[in-house]
Every structure is written in structure tokens, then in C-alpha cells.
Amino acid sequence: MESQRSIVIEDAIARTRALARLLEDETTERLARELGDQVPTGEINLLVVGQFKRGKSSLINALLGDDVMPTGALPLTGVVSCIRYGNERRIDVSFRHREGLTIPVDELPLYVTERYNPANRLGVDRVEVTWPAEAIRGVVLFDTPGIGSTHAHNTAIARAALPRADAAILVVGPEPPIGAAELQYAREVVESSERLFVVLNKSDIAGSALSEILKFTDEALDQIAGARGVDIALLSATVARDAQRRGERDPAFAAFVESLRSFVEQHGEATRTRSIRRRVTALLQRLDALLAMRAAALALPIADRAKRKASVERVFEALGDRARSLELMVDDDVRRLRLSLEEAMDGFHDRDEPAFRALGAELARESSAERRGAALEQAVNERASAWRTDAVRQASHQIEADSAKYGRLLGEIEASAIEAGCRLLDVDAAKPVARTIEFEPARIGPAASLTPTTGLELLGALATDLLPRGLREPLLRRRYNRILSRELDALRGKLRYGIGHDLEPWRRSAHGTISSSMEAARRAVLGAFEELADEASDAGARELGRVQSLREELRVLHANLADSELPVASAM
């Protein structure tokens, strides 16, 4: 039975891709291809989600029975870690623009934490962890960045992971209790997945207020359709992990694992089937809307069809205005980002100038010109690295947050195009689901050269070594203060140029994404009117028959998917 369901789903996805290619709907074809990559694994995609510092990584470590995922005071960077069952302990890191590598556990923080990889400046695409933990057999855990941290891009990355969820574990806590931002996120989780687990973590620190916090959390979740009556697991991942280290068993955590395993073994396949089926169905509905438009256009007299097409084109002119407004938003945001970076670098300058002046006085007291030169170059290099890290982090954070915003808005424009086409052709089709369109990440890096420019100045300073110390030190101090001041100004200019140089291609890339998405939507909708003969002609009749045949194929795929559906347990 399981293999038969997989065959039905794989066939539906393959046919969806083929139909999308036939209709030149590039968006649906790409989404179907991505969905097809998930089917062969046979595993449930289980997202571990929640607000920053709720203990998501600690909970995953307890599930693994080992200290694998980094925990601590600082948030994870914008990287989603994928953890699955396997006989060997292995961690693979893949990158966006270079070959991946396999790393030991103790090096994982270098790639997934803001401390060592701020704003994902290393360009990590994903981290895949394989671990022999029975608690996750048949499951792929996704450790997402926490929402609500100081890093806006973390929230954007966490939300971007939701469409792949079959089920989710929402981790909340007692300090503070669940808030408005978490409830909104929980609502998105429920809408994107088939099953929700809720863990009230760190329950050991709630004390006598635990029952009151539990009641508050339960009542808050009751506001969300699909989460009513959810069972909340009370536990402490830290306590559970401490018990594991002692070779003991924490009863609260053991009960949660038992519930999770029971779900996976009894309802996992049904949940996975429903999840994939839901996503395939959304793609089929989109294709059916396009085919329905074509059939409706074909059924119209040629003159009326031309009028409807003109109306659709006017809609696209209006949507084009929205797209251009989005491009202007990109331009404005890049301009504001440049200004904010200018202000930030002024702040770096003002912050470090007193330290550089103190360094100038210290260098003036150094008797060796060689040591003076080495100390100066080291100081400038250290400041260059610190400024570069801070500037790149700020730019990357803002761009990732802005990209998520653009992706949502562009997805809404695309959905509006299909909806408008259906309306103008009097097609009764399901309202298309707006998707978030991905924008290419910005490649923000250092300037071409941040090497200090002090070489000639240092050579000129050597002549002062012959002067008496009382005359030499004041002269050297003034000279080094001038050198260091120029170095700070030069460093600021190099960073301004380097980051500005990187922002411009990203701005053009964002415009290109907007333009190509609008053109793809235009081709998909106006394709309903292309090369249509009169319905009464032989060519028109053949085309109408072809469209009706394709729609019938879609209906069969819908029916097969419905037959493949299994009952699934309600939310826990």
C-alpha cells in the first residue's frame, strides 16, 4: 500500500511538471521539481520552530542524545540545519558558491552561529547532520533560526522553511510566556503543516507559576484554528540532557519522545502523504486555472476574445505599475542601506579614533622603527577586519529581511495576475495561493584591498630615530596620529566602495527577479489567448479538445491523489 501511494504521488508530480512545461509555466515546473526531490526519502519533514532562546537546539540535542547542535547566548545564523537518522555520525556543510566539506562536531559552531559566521558571510547553503538516534528514525529534523532575535534575516529564513514542513514542533517557554509574535508564527506553522507538537520548554524554572503559564499558553493557542485542544508537553531539554549524561532517564522528556515516536510509527506516512498531496494539489489548481482560462477564451467569439485579451493586458499594465513600485522600493531600500552604512562607518571611525590616538602615543615611545611599523600594520588590519565584519553583517541582515519582504509582495502580484485572468474570463477557479518568490542572496564581501597604506610614511619616520628622545616622541606622536587618522579615512573609503560595489549588482539582480517573474506570469495568463482559432473551425475544435483532455487529466490526478489520502491524527 505504501509503495502504491508513493507511485501515485510521484506520478502526479511528474505529470504536473510535464503539464507545466507544456503550458510554459516555469514557476509551477520548478516547484514541482523541488517537491519531487522530497518524495523518495520516505521521511517526515519535522520543523523545530520558535522564538529566539526558547531552547530549540537544546531540545534537538536531547532527541539526539548527544551535544551536537550549538547552544548558548547568541542566536544561530541564517542557516537551516537538517538532521536525519543514520548509522554513522556525520556532519556535511554545503556552500552556495564553493565545494562543501565534512566537519567534526566541535567545528559546527563556526558555520551556524552568529558569533563565528555573522549574517552567514561564509555563504553556507545548508548543514546536514546524520546521527544514530532512535528518537528521530524516519524523521528529518529542521533546526531553524529563532524568530524575534535582533537579526531580522533569521526570522525571514525561519519563515522561508515553513513550506517544506510536514509536521512541526513549536517550542515555547515560561519566561516570557507565549507572545503575539509567537502566536502569529504558530498560526503560520499550523497553516503550513499537517501536525503540530507544542513543547513548553524550561518548565523547571517556572516554579509555582507553571500551572498558570500552562493555562495561559493553552488559551493562547486556542485562538488559532487547527491548534485548539493541542496537548502541551512540559519538560526541560537541559534537564533531560543532563540526565542522559548521567545515564539516567528524564520521565517528562521520555513521555514526549514516546508520543513523538507513536505519531511517526502510526501516522507518519499518512501525514507525509497529506502534506505532499496538499502541495501537489495547489500546483494542480494553478494549472487548472490556466487551462480553464484557455478553454474560456477559446469558447468566445473572436471579437469578444480580443476585447477580453485587451482587458487582461490592461490588468497587466496595472500590475506592471505595482512591479515598478516594487523596483522603486528596492532602489529606496538600497539607498537607505547605503546611508545607514555611511552612518555606521562614521560611528566606527568615532569609536576607534581615541584608541588610535592612544596607539599613536604608544608607538612614539617604541624605540624600534621595525616594531613600530609592525604594530601599526597589525592595528590597522585588526580594525579593517572588525569594520568589515560589522558592515557586512549589517548589510546582509537588512538585505535578507528586505528580500523576504519583496518575495511576499511579488508572490501576491503573481497570484493577482492569475486571479484577474480568471475573473475577466468568467472562470470559476480556486483562488491561487500566493507564494514567496526567492531573491538571489547578495554577495557582500570585503573591498578589493584593505591593506594599510602606511609604508612610505613609516620610511619617513625612520629619520627621527637620530633625534633625542625628548624631541623624538612628540614628533612621532603627531606623525603617527596623522598616519592613523588617514588610515581610518582610507579604510572607511575602501569599505564604502567595496560594499557599494556589491550592492549595485544585487540591486540589478533584484530588478531582474521582479521582471522575470512578471514576464513568466504574463506568459502563463496571456497564453490562454495565444494562437487560438475560431471555436467553429477545425483548428479551434482541436485546440478545445486538447485543453479539455488536459483538464480531464488534471481531474484524474486530483482523484488519484484523493484516493491516496490516509486519515491523519489531529494536532497533539
- The model's pLDDT over 165-205, given as tens digits with 9 standing for 90+, comes to 788 888 888 887 777 767 776 777 777 677 888 899 998 88
DSSP 322-347: HHHHHHHHHHHHHHHHHHHHHHHHHH
For residues 135 and 263, the answer to whether their CB atoms sit within 8 Å is: no
pLDDT at site 255 = 95
SS3 428: coil
Higher-confidence residue of 50 and 232: namely 232
Higher-confidence residue of 245 and 484: namely 245
The answer as to whether 570 is a domain residue is: no
Q: What b/e string do you get for 183-220 counting C-beta neighbours within 10 Å, with b at 16 or more?
A: bebbbbbbebbbbbbbbbbbbeebeeeeeebbeebbeb
Q: Both 331 and 195 in a single domain?
A: no
Q: Both 118 and 224 in a single domain?
A: yes
For residues 198 and 222, the answer to whether their CB atoms sit within 8 Å is: no
| Across 515-543, average pLDDT | 75
Q: Mean pLDDT for the chain?
A: 78
The answer as to whether 481 is a domain residue is: yes
Q: Could you tell me where the DSSP H helices lie in 366-468? A: 369-424, 455-461
pLDDT above 90 (res 253) = yes
pLDDT at site 144 = 73
pLDDT band at 254 (very low <50, low <70, confident <90, very high): very high
pLDDT above 50 (res 447) = no
Q: Both 239 and 326 in a single domain?
A: no
Q: Position of cell 559566521?
A: 117
Cβ burial of 287 (10 Å; 0-12, 13-18, 19+) is: buried
Of all residues in the chain, the percent with pLDDT exceeding 90 is: 17
pLDDT above 70 (res 40) = no
For residues 198 and 172, the answer to whether their CB atoms sit within 8 Å is: yes
pLDDT above 50 (res 380) = yes
Tell which of 203, 229, 248 closes a domain: 248
Q: Both 212 and 311 in a single domain?
A: no
pLDDT above 50 (res 11) = yes
The answer as to whether 339 is a domain residue is: yes
Read off the C-alpha cell for 79: 542557516
Q: Both 228 and 336 in a single domain?
A: no
Q: Both 380 and 244 in a single domain?
A: no
Higher-confidence residue of 125 and 151: namely 125
Q: Both 323 and 237 in a single domain?
A: no
Q: How far is CA 193 from CA 63, 161, 264, 265, 550, in A?
A: 21, 11, 15, 18, 30
pLDDT at site 153 = 42
pLDDT band at 119 (very low <50, low <70, confident <90, very high): low
Sign of the CA dihedral running 63, 65, 69, 73: positive
| Across 284-300, average pLDDT | 85
The answer as to whether 259 is a domain residue is: no
Of all residues in the chain, the percent with pLDDT exceeding 70 is: 81
The answer as to whether 567 is a domain residue is: no
Structurally, the chain folds into a number of domains equal to 2
Q: Both 462 and 528 in a single domain?
A: yes
Q: Both 218 and 325 in a single domain?
A: no
- Strands 124-131 and 81-85, how do they pair? parallel
The answer as to whether 269 is a domain residue is: no
121: domain CATH number is 3.40.50.300
- Hey, how many other C-beta atoms are within 10 angstroms of the C-beta on 21? 13
Tell which of 206, 222, 248 closes a domain: 248
pLDDT at site 155 = 44
pLDDT band at 321 (very low <50, low <70, confident <90, very high): very high
The answer as to whether 509 is a domain residue is: yes
Find which of 29-33, 329-333, 392-396 is predicted with most confidence, using mean pLDDT. 329-333
Q: Both 244 and 373 in a single domain?
A: no
The answer as to whether 468 is a domain residue is: yes
pTM exceeds cut of 0.75: no
- The single-letter DSSP state of residue 532 is P
pLDDT band at 324 (very low <50, low <70, confident <90, very high): very high
Tell which of 225, 248, 271 closes a domain: 248
Cα separation, 315 vs 318, in Å, equals 5
pLDDT at site 387 = 78
pLDDT above 80 (res 140) = yes
Report angle CA 200, 204, 209 to the nearest 5 degrees: 80
Cα separation, 273 vs 9, in Å, equals 8
Q: Which residues have a Cβ under 8 Å from the Cβ of 366 and sit 6 or more positions away?
A: 372, 375
Q: Both 425 and 522 in a single domain?
A: yes
Cα separation, 547 vs 261, in Å, equals 46
Q: pLDDT tens, 61-117? A: 999 999 998 886 555 555 778 898 999 999 999 887 788 899 999 999 888 887 788
pLDDT above 80 (res 464) = no
Which residues constitute the domain of residue 408?
302-533
Nearest partner of 297 among 58, 501, 534, 2, judged by Cα: 534
For residues 153 and 427, the answer to whether their CB atoms sit within 8 Å is: no
Q: Both 327 and 450 in a single domain?
A: yes
pLDDT at site 497 = 77
